[in-house]
């Protein structure tokens, strides 16, 4: 196990009714709030009205950044920064999923930065100060509610980039699984695939002696395999939604990969798919992952696949190593299919048109992956996924 530091400064209020902590959380930082949300979902569910009532009862003044897109755009971030500056906002409140939270993170940093917000997307080390940010999560997927990452797109240049800063951790996250009862089936599936991918991509690593990280990863994966289909079939099953929600936060806060860190492989490939074709993040991952796995399976990597097959997919350990590995990859693919996730890129409108340039962009940094990949490898994986 390698040396590491681990600090999660986010205060988490998990469970039914935890929105009762919203007012006190905001008022620690001030009275003027920028409320950030996506489309109409929070109005349909009634959450918007609940929040407005809390504001009125507690003398909280609010301004709104509405319409944050799935795969949030830099232009929306710029609008949010302007609203904060014009109204002297004290706190940013993100209500939604990863897109709304990521947009809010970069808004909170952009307000304090003397330059264009895209600079902060390209280089998180420029972030020296932020407005405090609070989250009310409505979908289990990205883990943005308890991590230091943000992913923003500039569709005019086909760039979707991840940035990070220790200042991006939300001050408070309210995680009420009941808010995810209304997440549509396709987003429940893609969210589950996203959570699993955050764990899987780091589970395949080269460090030795990381028993605890490996077993934690396996139990998180088993949680998704068990509860993903339940949430898909019974949207109002609290136990399933609660377990997926907490899995989403733990999958990417670093607890499973501190001490065994490697670069993610499928995520950079997916980000290019979204940048050029604006597809749903978790859908792209579910398509790419089995092909990435097949591509990197060889004598050097098979041992890790055996752990994955036996400990996650309960495959008979007495089988030949490559047989276990192949079955594990097949089971991963079947699981995603069981949640009605597409299995090919063509199904989501991707053609071979931009694959070369996407492969070049995605391969940057993949020399540090579990199994190093070049742009040629990435191109091959894209083609195999078509």
User: In whole angstroms, how close is the CB of 122 to ligand NZQ at the nearest point?
Assistant: 16
Residues in contact with Zn ion, total (CB under 5 A)?
1
**Which one of 85-93, 194-202, 209-217, 226-234 is the stretch in contact with Zn ion (CB under 5 A)?**
194-202
User: In whole angstroms, how close is the CB of 336 to ligand NZQ at the nearest point?
Assistant: 15
By CB neighbour count within 10 A (0-12 exposed, 13-18 middle, 19+ buried), where does 196 fall? buried
User: For residues 119 and 117, what is the distance between their CA atoms, to the nearest angstrom?
Assistant: 5
Q: Which residue is nearest to Zn ion (CB)?
A: 194
- The two three-digit tokens of residue 339, written as one number: 């949640």
| Cα diameter, the chain | 66
User: In whole angstroms, how close is the CB of 286 to Zn ion at the nearest point?
Assistant: 11
144 interface partner picked from Zn ion, ligand NZQ, none, CB below 5 to 8 A per type: ligand NZQ
Give the containing element (helix H, strand E) for 37: strand 32-37
Phi and psi angles of residue 320, each rounded to the nearest 5 degrees, phi first: -60, 145
User: In whole angstroms, how close is the CB of 45 to ligand NZQ at the nearest point?
Assistant: 6
User: For residues 252 and 169, what is the distance between their CA atoms, to the nearest angstrom?
Assistant: 12
**Which one of 55-63, 191-199, 297-305, 353-361 is the stretch in contact with Zn ion (CB under 5 A)?**
191-199
Q: Is 145 in the site for Zn ion (CB under 5 A)?
A: no
User: For residues 154 and 275, what is the distance between their CA atoms, to the nearest angstrom?
Assistant: 8
User: In whole angstroms, how close is the CB of 21 to ligand NZQ at the nearest point?
Assistant: 19
Local structure of 313: helix, strand or coil: coil
Comparison of 279 and 373: residue with beta carbon closer to ligand NZQ: 279
Comparison of 94 and 111: residue with beta carbon closer to Zn ion: 94
Q: Is 253 in the site for Zn ion (CB under 5 A)?
A: no
Residues contacting residue 182 through CB under 8 Å, at least 6 positions apart = 41, 44, 45, 235
Comparison of 194 and 253: residue with beta carbon closer to Zn ion: 194
From start to end of 176-321, where are the E strands? none
Query: What are the residues binding ligand NZQ (CB under 6 A)?
Result: 38-42, 45, 70-71, 96-100, 102, 138-139, 141-144, 147, 149-151, 179-180, 182-184, 187, 191, 194, 252, 267, 281
User: In whole angstroms, how close is the CB of 58 to Zn ion at the nearest point?
Assistant: 35
Q: Is beta strand 32-37 parallel, antiparallel or unpaired with respect to 91-96?
A: parallel
141 interface partner picked from Zn ion, ligand NZQ, none, CB below 5 to 8 A per type: ligand NZQ
Q: Is 102 in the site for Zn ion (CB under 5 A)?
A: no
User: In whole angstroms, how close is the CB of 289 to ligand NZQ at the nearest point?
Assistant: 13
291 interface partner picked from ligand NZQ, Zn ion, none, CB below 5 to 8 A per type: none
Report in angstroms the alpha-carbon separations of 121 from 127, 164, 189, 263, 315.
Answer: 10, 8, 28, 18, 42
Q: Which of 322, 291, 38 is nearest to 308 (CA)?
A: 322
* Order of all β-strands in the sheet with 91-96: 11-14, 172-175, 133-137, 91-96, 32-37, 61-65
375 interface partner picked from ligand NZQ, Zn ion, none, CB below 5 to 8 A per type: none
Q: Which of 11, 369, 9 is nearest to 200 (CA)?
A: 369
Comparison of 76 and 332: residue with beta carbon closer to ligand NZQ: 76
139 interface partner picked from ligand NZQ, Zn ion, none, CB below 5 to 8 A per type: ligand NZQ
Comparison of 194 and 377: residue with beta carbon closer to Zn ion: 194
In b/e form, how buried is each residue of 145-171, taking b as 16+ CB within 10 angstroms? Answer: bbbbbbbbbbbeebbbbebebebbbbb
Comparison of 83 and 139: residue with beta carbon closer to ligand NZQ: 139
Positions that interact with Zn ion (CB under 5 A) = 194
């Amino acid at each position: 196990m390698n040396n590491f530091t681990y600090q999660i400064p986010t205060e988490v209020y998990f469970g039914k009714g935890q929105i009762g902590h919203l007012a006190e959380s905001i008022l620690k930082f001030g009275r003027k709030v920028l409320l950030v949300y996506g489309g109409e979902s929070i109005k349909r569910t009634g959450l918007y009205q609940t929040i407005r009532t809390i504001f009125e009862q507690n003398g909280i003044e609010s301004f709104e950044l509405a319409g944050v897109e799935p795969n949030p755009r830099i232009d929306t971030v710029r609008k949010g920064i302007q609203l904060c500056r014009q109204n002297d906002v004290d706190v940013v409140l993100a209500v939604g999923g990863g897109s709304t939270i990521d947009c809010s993170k970069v808004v909170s940093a952009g307000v304090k930065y003397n330059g264009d917000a895209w600079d902060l997307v390209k280089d998180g080390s420029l972030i020296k100060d932020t407005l405090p940010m609070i989250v009310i999560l409505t979908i289990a997927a990205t883990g943005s509610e308890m991590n230091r990452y943000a992913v923003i797109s500039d569709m005019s240049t086909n760039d979707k980039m991840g940035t990070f800063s220790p200042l991006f951790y939300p001050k408070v996250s309210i995680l009420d699984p009941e808010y995810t009862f209304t997440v549509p089936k396709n987003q429940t599936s893609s969210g589950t695939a996203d959570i699993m991918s955050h764990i899987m991509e780091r589970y395949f690593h080269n460090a030795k002696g990381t028993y605890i990280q490996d077993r934690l990863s396996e139990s998180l994966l088993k949680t998704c395999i068990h509860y993903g289909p339940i949430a898909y079939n019974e949207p109002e099953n609290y136990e399933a939604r609660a377990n997926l929600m907490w899995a989403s936060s733990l999958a990417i806060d670093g607890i499973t990969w501190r001490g065994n860190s490697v670069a993610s492989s499928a995520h950079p490939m997916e980000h290019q798919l979204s940048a050029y074709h604006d597809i749903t993040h978790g859908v792209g991952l579910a398509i790419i992952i089995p092909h990435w796995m097949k591509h990197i399976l060889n004598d050097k990597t098979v041992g890790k696949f055996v752990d994955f097959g036996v400990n996650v997919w309960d495959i008979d350990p007495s089988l030949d190593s490559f047989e276990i590995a192949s079955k594990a990859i097949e089971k991963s693919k079947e699981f995603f299919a069981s949640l009605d996730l597409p299995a090919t890129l063509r199904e989501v409108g991707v053609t071979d048109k931009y694959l070369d340039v996407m492969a070049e962009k995605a391969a940057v940094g993949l020399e540090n992956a579990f199994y190093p990949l070049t742009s040629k490898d990435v191109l091959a994986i894209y083609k195999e996924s078509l």
